């Protein structure tokens, strides 16, 4: 009598997953109907610190992008080698590879955008950053909930990234991109506190999340941070540095951690 009971449990889990996805889609539709269109404006490309040194436009915003490259490339190589990091499921490998690839690509995309900020170049800044955020959220789902759900989440979020950028370019509407930046800030801390970790050193996740949220805050408070620092460094430049700290913390976590709770892949 074990097989029918296991089969019933599998069907119930599938129904629950379907309900969750249906609720998410319904919530998204309601938000789209309830909020007005948010068009692009030239002010979005005006940062607090736009000084030029040695002929390089927006020098500090460009230079502070490259720590992402210094962190992302070595970590990506170590992740692909599969011999140094504590990764036990195939789905996690896909997630971490996309995260580190997005981190490295963000260095070039952000530097390219800040050399000439406009509506065309900003795509190359947003795409790798959103890819990294989508990967982190999916990795947590894989690790703490279920690998199949996490892979479905990764595929869905990457599709959402492309759709949101497409909507911004085609319909001049920033709502989807803004929603995407808000969702990880809520979902990642929620997953950390609601579900048990599979690995040791899970506190590194909390520390990395703190720097991620700090980066988002510094981006919003760009001008206030610039004036508070006596016009030495802006909030946007500090945002780049905080975002570079996130993969450093997570790389240390992968290097040190071990399996804490056995779970089927």
Over the Cα atoms of the chain, what is R_g? Answer: 20
Residues 6+ apart with CB under 8 A from 48: 222, 223, 225, 226, 227, 234, 235, 236
pLDDT band at 125 (very low <50, low <70, confident <90, very high): very high
Pick from 155, 152, 157, 137: nearest CA to 96: 137
pLDDT band at 1 (very low <50, low <70, confident <90, very high): very low
- Rounded Cα gap, residues 254 and 58, in angstroms: 35
Domain 58-256: which topology?
Rhopdopsin 7-helix transmembrane proteins (1.20.1070)
Domain boundaries, the chain: 1-36, 58-256
pLDDT greater at residue 265 or residue 176 = 176
- In the block, tokens 């990506």 appear at 76
> Looking at residue 265, what is its pLDDT?
44
pLDDT digits 0-9 by tens, 211-263 = 999 999 999 999 999 999 999 999 999 999 999 999 999 999 999 988 765 54
- Rounded Cα gap, residues 208 and 217, in angstroms: 14
Structure token digits, residue 166: 């497409």
Are 235 and 226 within 8 A, CB to CB?
yes
Are 236 and 222 within 8 A, CB to CB?
yes
SS3 assignment, position 86: coil
pLDDT digits 0-9 by tens, 135-169 = 999 999 999 888 888 998 899 899 989 999 998 88
Q: Which residues lie across from 259 on neighbouring strands?
A: 199
């Amino acid at each position: 009598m074990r097989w029918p009971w296991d089969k019933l449990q599998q069907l119930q889990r599938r129904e629950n997953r379907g309900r969750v996805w249906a609720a998410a889609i319904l919530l998204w539709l309601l938000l789209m109907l309830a909020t007005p269109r948010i068009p692009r404006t030239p002010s979005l490309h005006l940062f607090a610190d736009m000084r030029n040194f040695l002929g390089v436009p927006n020098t500090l915003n460009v230079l502070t992008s490259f720590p992402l490259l210094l962190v992302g490339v070595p970590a990506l190589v170590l992740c692909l080698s599969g011999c140094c990091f504590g990764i036990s499921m195939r789905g996690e490998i896909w997630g971490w590879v996309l995260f580190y690839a997005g981190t490295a690509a963000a260095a070039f995309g952000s530097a390219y955008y800040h050399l000439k900020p406009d509506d065309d170049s900003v795509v190359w800044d947003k795409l790798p950053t959103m890819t990294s955020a989508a990967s982190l959220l999916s990795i947590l789902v894989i690790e703490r909930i279920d690998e199949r759900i996490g892979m479905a989440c990764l595929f869905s979020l990457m599709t959402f990234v492309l759709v949101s950028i497409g909507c911004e370019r085609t319909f001049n509407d920033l709502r989807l991109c803004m929603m995407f930046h808000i969702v990880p800030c809520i979902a990642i801390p929620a997953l950390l506190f609601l579900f048990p970790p599979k690995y040791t050193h899970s506190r590194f996740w909390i520390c990395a999340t703190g720097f991620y949220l700090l980066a988002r805050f510094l981006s919003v408070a760009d001008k206030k941070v610039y004036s508070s620092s006596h016009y030495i460094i802006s909030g946007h430049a500090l945002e780049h540095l905080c975002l570079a700290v996130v993969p450093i913390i997570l790389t240390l976590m992968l290097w040190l951690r071990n399996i804490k709770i056995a779970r089927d892949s």
